[in-house]
Structure 1
Amino acid sequence: MLTRPEDVDGHASTVVSPPYPPAGDGALLTWRESLTAPPIVRSRERRAGRDDAAAGGQPRRQTVSLIIPTLNEAENIPWVLERIPSIVDEVIIVDGHSSDDTVKVARAVRPDVVVVNQRFRGKGDAVRVALAAATSDLIVMIDADGSMEPSEIYRFVTPLMNGYDLVKGSRYLAGGGSEDLTLLRRLGNSVLVWMTNMMFLVRFTDLCYGFCSFRRDCVPALALTAHGFEIETELIVRALKADLRIAEVPSTELQRRRGTSNLRTFRDGQRVLRTLLRERIIRKPRPVVDPIDQRVLQEWRTVAGDVCLAQASGHPLEERSLL
């Protein structure tokens, strides 16, 4: 049940969400239809002038993009792609210079997947590239290693359709949990959650967990700049500073299916800590300074040459090829 502090009339109200759907295509389609009717009145959106109604006065179904940063996840990506519920309209994979067949395997499993090559390095850059490529109203972010259950996407979409701007997963809420938290990671996360709650006067139960969702029209307010795993913390803290409406939902973290994680506990923990301290002190977002990979420079040089040849021959190059 999602509790909302105000209604259009200024009175307290409660929006009751149906239970999460069971697995199966029939249940997914039924749930998908239920997300569009009846339309939910959102006072905040009405004040901002947003209109989700389609022609004829019928509620317009809000589309969903799923973004998946990948780096050498050829063994894990099929499991993730095969379990994506039908409510997702667009799947975007951002490949971080994988040396295996991640992209080839992803396209074989799901031919409609949109593949965007990462220009720099790090999860933060991958997320920013994916956000720029997403075209749907709502965006869900999930990892490619199989540690997050795609069927939980409904938990992250439903609050957005009930007036929230950003939804973050929590392994510590009732109904959530983790099969992969070591004692060291659990301790570090607890300390960082405590610091975040003290610094920003909030009551989060989890912080360093990348399963989240947000409205696409809220992305510019986040002004993301992080390069590594600290992007998850920066996203949440920037949402707080932008006065966005945030919800936590329970989520279960599974063990990574195969391979070795790119997360480094001490290194990335320090980067998260620096992000918290910086965001608490500095009000304005820092500028983005990207280290450009030499391989990317060579690719850009090739594309630039193709553009010049196309202009000289009078045949314009397709815009998509420039990405």
Structure 2
Amino acid sequence: MLDNLTPIKTPSLKNQRIAVLLPCRNEGLTIAQVVAGFQAALPEAKIYVYDNRSTDNTAEQAAAAGAIVRYERIPGKGNVVRRMFADIEADIYVMADGDNTYEAPAVRRLIQFLLAQRLDMVVGARRETGKDSEAYRPGHR
């Protein structure tokens, strides 16, 4: 876990093209908080929200929060993910959900670890806070 690591010295992220990719469907209640969290954690990143046929105000909330909003009309998260990676060119990709269950402030340390260790990919996991944690739906642990 990153919690036990000493501070990581890495090159500045300013020269990296960082894209935060947020596939969404009906996340109007939380997407503005998610966008704001990633803006604060990674001000050098471009934040993309891909709306997948939302029937609420997800796209409007994301745009108002400062995200670049795009649309994928073919239903299903897999279709959205394929579209995001086909559309966006970046050095570093960060993908999270728009439901505000990920800790955006942790992303900088994950990227620093990725660069310092010269890795291709790192995967973060939501922290469970108790037996009835809302971080994972039943059957998705």
Normalised-by-shorter TM-score class: 0.7 to 0.9
Matched, 1:18 2:7: yes
- Residue 76 of structure 1 deviates from its aligned partner by 0.5
Whole-angstrom CA distance in 2 between matches of 1:77 and 1:129: 19
Corresponding residue to 1:99 among 55, 58, 70: 55
CA pair 181-105 structure 1, distance change in 2 beyond 3 A: farther
Matched, 1:179 2:133: no
CA pair 70-264 structure 1, distance change in 2 beyond 3 A: farther
Contact 1:67–1:139 (Cα < 8 Å) also in 2: yes
> 2:11 is matched with which residue?
36
Question: Which structure has the greater CA radius of gyration?
Answer: 1
Contact 2:14–2:44 (Cα < 8 Å) also in 1: no
The higher relative CO (CA closer than 8 Å, separation ≥ 6) is in 2
Whole-angstrom CA distance in 1 between matches of 2:111 and 2:48: 17
Aligned residue for 1:168, secondary structure, equals: coil
Aligned residue for 1:105, secondary structure, equals: helix
TM-score, normalising length: structure 2: 0.79
Task: For 1:246-285, list aligned pairs within 5 A.
Answer: 255=134, 265=139
Alignment length (residue pairs): 136
Contact 1:96–1:122 (Cα < 8 Å) also in 2: yes
Whole-angstrom CA distance in 1 between matches of 2:130 and 2:80: 23
CA pair 131-96 structure 1, distance change in 2 beyond 3 A: same
Corresponding residue to 1:161 among 115, 119, 128: 115
> 1:90 is matched with which residue?
46
Superposed CA deviations along residues 100-141 of structure 1, whole A, max 9, x for unmatched, are 11111111111xx22221131111111111112222200001
CA pair 83-116 structure 1, distance change in 2 beyond 3 A: same
Contact 2:22–2:49 (Cα < 8 Å) also in 1: yes
Matched, 1:147 2:101: yes
> 2:78 is matched with which residue?
124
Aligned residue for 1:166, secondary structure, equals: coil
Whole-angstrom CA distance in 2 between matches of 1:151 and 1:140: 12
Contact 1:66–1:88 (Cα < 8 Å) also in 2: no
Q: CA RMSD in A?
A: 3.1
Whole-angstrom CA distance in 2 between matches of 1:148 and 1:128: 21
Moved over 3 A (4+): 179-182
Contact 1:77–1:102 (Cα < 8 Å) also in 2: yes
Whole-angstrom CA distance in 1 between matches of 2:10 and 2:102: 23
- Residue 160 of structure 1 deviates from its aligned partner by 2.3
Percent identity over the alignment?
A: 26
Whole-angstrom CA distance in 1 between matches of 2:35 and 2:52: 18
